[in-house]
Amino acid sequence: MDMTVYDYSALEFNGQKKSLKDFEGKVLLIVNTASQCFFKKQFKTLEILYKKYKDQGFEILAFPSNDFKEQEPLTGSNLETYCRIGQQVSFPVFKRIHVIGEYQDPLYRYLSDIKLNGQVDSNPMWNFHKYLVNRKGEVVDYYYSLTSPLSKKIHKRIEELL
């Protein structure tokens, strides 16, 4: 497996392409989000997790998606305002993408396919599915939507990688 998450990029709300290589050397938690989802309370717990570890080389990357029951109707500046002001998140949030299906973003194809990433075989089954990436850009674990960002399991794994 020669590919890592660093081989991918994402679109910021201003339309600029952001290389994930900019996060090289950090432990990443990549999560698909939705503003109308039952799990949207995880925005707050993700922010707590982010603040706890960000100074140690940890980053959360959020990818809004409307793939599950159209629970992300917002786009553009409305979506950015919801995340930044409504949910008060300070970690990077990118433009809305597809995380499953025919139009699945290449990053999510990599994250979810063991043939591409060598470690994890898990497509998001709902919003707030989380992928954990080590400092080398390799996917090392995943957590279903039900797993709280404040769970001991996630904290322990992040601390091991930091």
Instruction: Provide the annotated active-site residues.
Output: 37
Give Cα 60 to chain centroid, integer Å: 6
CA distance linking residue 15 with residue 13, whole number of Å: 5
CA distance linking residue 90 with residue 51, whole number of Å: 9
Residues in contact with 128: Cβ distance below 8 Å, sequence separation at least 6, in sequence order: 31, 32, 33, 34, 37, 39, 42, 145
Q: How far apart are the first and last CA of the chain?
A: 22
Buried b (16+ CB within 10 A) or exposed e, 128-160: bbbbbbbeebbbbbbbebeebbeeeebeebbee
